[in-house]
Amino acid sequence: MRHDLDEAVIDPVRVTLDPVGLLPPAVQDTPPRHRARIAKRVPRVAIVHDWLVAFAGAEKVLEQIVTCFPDADLFSVVDFMEERTWMRGKKVTTSFIQKLPQAKKRYRSYLPLMPLAIEQLDVSGYDLVISSSHAVAKGILTGPDQIHVSYVHSPIRYAWDLQHQYLQQSNLTSGVKSLLARMVLHYMRNWDIRTSNSVDHFIANSAFIARRINKVYHRDSHVIFPPVDVEAFQLCEVKEDFYLTASRMVPYKKIDLIVEAFAKMPERKLVVIGDGPDMRKIRDKATPNVEIMGYQPFSVLQDKMRRAKAFVFAAEEDFGISVVEAQACGTPVIAYGKGGALETVLDSSHARPTGLFFDEQTTDAIIDAVEGFELGAVKINPADCRANAERFSIKHFRDSLRAYVQSVAPHFTLAPPAMPPLPVADPAIAAAALQLDQDHEEADAMRVLAVDQSGVLGGAELSLLEVMKNMRGTNETVLFDDGPFRIALEAVGIKVDVLDGAALGGLSKDGGMKRSGTGMIGGVMSLVRGTLEKSRNSDVIYVNTQRAMVVGAIAGLISRRPVVWHLRDIVSQEHFGKTQLTIIKWCTKLMLERVIANSTASAVALTALTRMKEERLDVVFNGISAEPFTELESVAQHELRARFGLPQDAFLVGSFSRLARWKGQHILLEALLEAPEMHAVLVGAALFGEDAYEAQLRAYVLEQGLADRVHFLGFQHDIAGCMKAVDVVAHTSISPEPFGRVIIEGMLAKRPIVAARAGGVTDIVEDRENGILCTPGDVHALAGALGELSSDAGLRKRLVEQGYANAINRFGTERYVESVQKILSDVAGKSRLKRG
C-alpha cells in the first residue's frame, strides 16, 4: 500500500481525460461481484450526508454531487436547512435524532448517538451509495452487491489528530466531563476505523486528506478537489495598498497571529473580514493599521479580495476555499506551508508562482513572509493566479467525479447531470414551455442600461443591486455619484460609469434649488449627454430613482430607446413639491414605456397623479436575499451585541433607516419615556443633508437623560448582524413608506416587527398575524406595542414564525428578479420590432 500519491492520482483533469487508464490500484482491482451485475443499466443512487444545518463548504460539495446525480435520493442524520433551492426539490430522509429535544440548535450534542443513527438509515434498495463525510456519513450500512463511494472531507478531526485541541477549546481537559468526552472520542475512533472497511472506494478532497485517510484507515484514496465557484470572482490586475484575511474567527484559523504580525508592521494595512468566538480577542489585538470589518456580505468580501495586494492565510486547512477564491481574483496568497495550501498555491519553485509560504505559525514567520513579498522575493502575475484557480472550478469537479464513479462502476450507465425536461402532453403547456425558452433566450441577449442618481447604498440601491447581479443579459450601470454602491456593483461584475451629478445635489424633493435654474438645467443636460452616450448600445434604459428617471427619459427620447422606471417613492404632496410632481407627471405620460411600482401604495399614488393606463404599470414587490441572515444562524446574540458594543441584558428595540424626520426616529425616542426598561438602537446616518435632524435627536437624548439607553450605531454594512442583535425591529415612519425593506429584513432576521400602518407597509404586514401595526406618529400606541412584546414571549414567537414565512414565500429574490427581467425583456423586444 502506497503512502505517497503520484501525479496521476491527484490530478482530476487527467482522470477526466482517461479515467480508466489512470485509476489507483484499488479501482483497477474492482471485485468480481461488481463486474457481475447486469450490464449497462441506470443505477438507483443514494447520497448520504452527515447533517444539513447550514450551507457551508461541505454542503457546496454536496450541491454539486446532487447535480451530478439528479435522480438520487438524499439521506442525512438531521435536516434543518432553511435555504433549500440548491437541493433541487429533494426530500431528505433523516434519522431519529431529527425529533430529539432541541436537535435543531444542539445537534452536535447528540454526536455519541450519530453512529447508531447513521446505521439506521436504510439504503438497501440502492445500487450505488455516495457518502459525503466529515463525521459519520461514511458509516452508512451497505450490502455486498452495492457500491459505496465515499467523498471524505476529513476523517473525524476532533476524534483523531485534533482531539487535544478540541478538549482544550471545550474546557474538557480535566474532571469527570473530560473523562466522559475522552471515552466518547475513543469509541468514535474505533467505530470510524471499523466502518472504513465497508467503503468500496474513497475520494479525498486533497492529497493532504488522502494521507490522513491512509494513516487512519490504511486505505488508498483518489483525490478530487472541492468545487470552487471561480466564475463568481472577477480578475482584477490593479491592486491597492492593503492586505486581506477572511475567515470564521475560531482558534485554528490563527487570525489572531496575523493581526499580531501586522500590529508590529504599522506601515502595512490589514483588512480582516469574518466573525466568530474569537472576535473580541482579535479586536483587542488590533492596532490603527488593522481594520476589523466583522461579518460582511459576499459582495463586500469579493470587492476586497479583488483589490487586495495579497491574501494572508495562516491556518492548516484540509483544502482552503478562500485561498482559491483570492487567486480567482488575481490576488497572490501568503500562506502557512502546510495542509491543503500546498496543493492550491504555487510558490517560487513553479514557473508561474501564485504566492509564497511561511514555515511556522508564528508572528515572526508571517512578518518575514510579508516583508519578502514587499521586496519582490517572488514575481507574481495576477493572470497566473486566475489560471491556477480555474483548476478547481465547478466543471472540473463534476467531470472528475462522474468519470471516477463511472470507472469504478463500468457496468452502470449514469444518468445525465442536467435535470431531464418534464414530459409535456398538453399543446398549451408545450407552447408555454416554448415561450419560456424564447423568453430566456431574449433575456440572455438583452442589453440593459440601469441609471441611478446615488452612490450610497440606500434601500433603492440595494434593490437595484439584487436585480443587476442576478439578471441575465449584458448589464451596465450609470451613476450620478460615486460611493459604496459603485463598489458593490463592480464587485458582482457589473460595469459602472460615474457621471458628475453635483448639479443635482442642490435639488430637493420639494422642488427647492440651492443653485440657479440655469446652472441646474446645464447640469441636467450634462448628465443627459453622458447617459445618451451609454444608451446607444442598449435595448432598454432602466431608471431606478426619480432624478435618474428624468435624465433617462430625455436620453431615451433622443436615442429612441424605451425607458422603464422602477418607482420606489409615493409621488404625493407629502413627499414631493409641486414642481417635482409636474415633472414626474409629464415625463411619465410622454416619455416612459412602462413603470414598475414597488408597492400597491406607490402604484395608486402614481395612477392618481398621471391617470396612466393599467397595462403600462406593474406592481413588483422588492425581493430580499435571506442569505446574510441564514449565515448568522449559528452566531449567538451575545456575540453580536458584543460586536456592536451593545448591552447584553437590556431589551433592545432597533430602528434601521437613514436619520430623517419623516422616518420618525424621534417617535421611538419619545416612546422610551413610557417604557423605562427598554433601550433604542438607531442604525443609520443622515445621508442627504439631514444633519440638523440627527443633531436634534442627540440633543433630545441628552435633555431627557436617555444617554445610557439610546445607542447611535451610524451607518452599518452588517444590517443582518445588527438586526439579530436586537429584540424587536421598529418601523416608525410618520409619512407613508413606499415599501418598507427593513420590515422584510427584520422578518428574515427572525425578529418581531412593530410598524406604522401606512403606504407599502400594509402590503407586507398583517396586524397581529406577522407583525403589529400602529398609527403613524402615535407615541402611546408604539410604547404599548413594545411593552406587550417585551412581556409576551409567546406573541413574539408567533409573530417571528409567521413573519419569516411571509418574507420567504412572498418576497424572495428569485421571483423579484424574474418579474423585473420579464418586463424589461417585453419592452426591449417590442422596441426592437419597431426599430425593424
Look at the chain and count its residues: 836
What would the 3-class secondary structure string for 225-249 be? CCCECHHHCCCCCCCCCCEEEECCC
d(CA 170, CA 460): 45
- Give the pLDDT of residue 687: 75
Cβ pair 81, 53 in contact under 8 A = yes
CA distance linking residue 523 with residue 501, whole number of Å? 7
In whole angstroms, what is the distance from residue 829 CA to residue 821 CA? 12
Could you read off the pLDDT of 578-630 as tens digits, one per residue? 888 999 999 998 999 999 998 888 888 999 999 888 889 998 888 888 889 98
DSSP, residue by residue, 49-75: ES-BSS--HHHHHHHHHHHHSTT-EEE
Of all helices (H) and strands (E), which one includes residue 729? strand 728-731
Report the alpha-carbon distance of residue 258 to residue 435 in Å, rounded. Answer: 55
Once rounded to an integer, what is the mean pLDDT over residues 710-733? 94
Return the SS3 of 28: helix
| Domains assigned to the chain | 7-223 (3.40.50), 230-392 (3.40.50.2000), 437-619 (3.40.50.2000), 627-811 (3.40.50.2000)
pLDDT of residue 11: 39
pLDDT tens digits for 799-835? 999 999 889 888 888 888 888 998 998 898 877 666 5
Angstrom CA distances, 47 to 30, 44, 151, 349, 386, stand at 21, 10, 10, 40, 32
Distance CA 774, CA 785 (A): 8
Q: Label residue 8 by pLDDT band (50, 70, 90).
A: very low
Question: What SS3 state is found at 710?
Answer: strand
Residue 430: all three cell numbers together: 408545450
Region 443-469: mean pLDDT is 85
**Is residue 355's pLDDT more than 50?**
yes
Residue pair 544/563 in contact (Cβ under 8 Å)? The answer is no
Check if the beta carbon of residue 579 is closer than 8 Å to that of residue 477. no
pLDDT in tens, 675-718: 999 999 999 988 767 889 999 999 999 999 999 999 999 988 89
| Helix, strand or coil, per DSSP, at residue 27 | helix
> What pLDDT is recorded for position 445?
63
Beta bridge partners of 513: 507
pTM of the model: 0.47
**What pairing do the DSSP bridges indicate for beta strands 45-49 and 128-133?**
parallel
pLDDT digits (tens, 9 = 90+) for 87-114: 888 899 999 999 998 888 788 889 889 9
Residue 636 contacts residue 616 (beta carbons within 8 Å): no
The span from the CA of 662 to the CA of 41, in Å, is: 68
Pair 587, 553: CB distance under 8 Å = yes
- Looking at per-residue confidence, does 460 or 726 come out higher? 726
**pLDDT tens-place string over residues 539-593:** 999 999 888 999 999 999 998 899 999 999 888 887 788 888 999 999 998 999 9
**Mean of all residue pLDDT scores within the chain:** 86
Label residue 519 by pLDDT band (50, 70, 90).
Answer: low
Please write the tens of the pLDDT for every residue from 13-64.
333 333 333 444 444 444 444 444 444 689 999 999 999 988 877 898 999 9
CA gap 758, 751 in Å, rounded:
20
pLDDT in tens, 251-303: 889 999 999 999 999 999 999 998 877 888 899 999 999 999 887 878 888 99
Over residues 364-401, the pLDDT tens digits come to: 999 999 999 999 888 999 999 999 999 999 999 999 99
Decide if pLDDT at 510 tops 90: no
Please check whether residue 485 is in contact with residue 461, taking contact to mean a CB–CB distance below 8 angstroms: yes
